[in-house]
Each structure stands twice: as structure tokens, then as C-alpha cells.
Amino acid sequence: MDYIPEVLEAYNNKLKSKLYGLLCEYERGRDWEGFLDAILIELEGFDVDERTIDYYSLYHKLSALRYLNYNYFRKTIFDCMSLLSRGEDR
């Protein structure tokens, strides 16, 4: 399925906001794992035929977050945001 570029850009921006919110929850010592699980559950909703290499990269990076220390956690969040930004250029 081909997405309308504006819709894809809006979705990626929404997801980037959620990732930033996840980082804020982590930094505040709140329920960041629940926040992370909600994002992963949302990503699971993508049809298998629509999953790209970037999708898998994003999903696996996010899945690993619960095992990373703060510095790697933060870096991975920003890596994921960059990955989403890159996807908008296609």
C-alpha cells in the first residue's frame, strides 16, 4: 500500500513526539516501560506486507531500549527519530 506523503509525514511526526515523550518519562523516572510498550504495540499493527527495512530497524531498536543504560537509551531514541525523518524524504 502506498501512503500519501503528507499522511506518512504526519504519522512520523506523531511517532517522533511519542519517542520524545518516552525519553522524558525515562528521565523523570516514571512509567517509561508502559509508554514503550504502547509504542511497540502500535507498531505491531502494521501489516506485514507494509513493513520495510526501516520499520524492522526501528522496531528492534525500540525493543532493545529496556536493556540500555541512559546514554545508550538517549542515543537510540535520537537514532530512531532520525530514522523516521529519513523516511519522510522518500
Residue among 75, 81, 61 at smallest CA distance from 18: 81
Report field, pTM of the whole predicted structure over 0.85: yes
Cα separation of 81 and 87, whole Å? 10
**What number of residues does the chain have?**
90
Instruction: Write the pLDDT tens digit of every residue in 67-81.
Output: 999 999 999 999 999
- Cα Rg of the chain (Å, integer): 13
pLDDT of 5 higher than 90: no
Instruction: Write the pLDDT tens digit of every residue in 7-33.
Output: 889 999 999 999 999 999 999 999 999
For all residues of the chain together, what is the average pLDDT? Answer: 92
Q: Which residues contact 16 (CB under 8 A, 6 or more apart)?
A: 81, 84, 85
Distances (CA, A) of 83 to 1, 8, 13, 60, 74: 20, 13, 12, 12, 14
Q: Which residue has the cell 530497524?
A: 57
Helix (H) or strand (E) segment spanning residue 83: helix 70-88
